[in-house]
Amino acid sequence: MAIMATEVDPAGIMPCAILKPADFREARVLEIGAGDGRLTFQYAAEPRSVVAIDTKEPDIRAASQRPGLELRRNV
């Protein structure tokens, strides 16, 4: 029997791992395979803009409902 975590990345490690290797301030980011945007919106405040794409319509719909107003200008 597999046990799955109920909270994804509770320590916030994923956005740190993405932003650590390079300076993303003022960057224009293209994220391919963004899914529902769960990770996208964790790092989206750092770059100038983020274009996040995915092929799954339900995930795209979920992502479009996710961001707060302060991140909509970036994503």
pLDDT digits (tens, 9 = 90+) for 10-51: 667 777 787 788 888 889 999 999 988 888 888 888 889 999
Residue 8 within a domain: no
> Rounded CA gap, 35 and 1, in Å?
26
- 45 domain-assigned: yes
- The per-residue pLDDT for 11 is 66
Task: Judge whether 65 lies within some domain.
Answer: yes
- Rounded to whole angstroms, the Cα distance separating 9 from 28 reads 24
pTM (2 d.p.): 0.70
**Domain assignment present for 9:** no
Is residue 11 a part of any domain in this protein? no
Domain assignment of residue 35, yes or no? yes
Residue 4 has pLDDT above 60, yes or no: no
Q: How many domains does the chain have?
A: 1
Q: Which structural domain range is residue 64 located in?
A: 17-72
Inside any domain, residue 2: no
pLDDT: is 61 or 72 the higher one?
A: 61
Is 38 part of a structural domain of the chain? yes
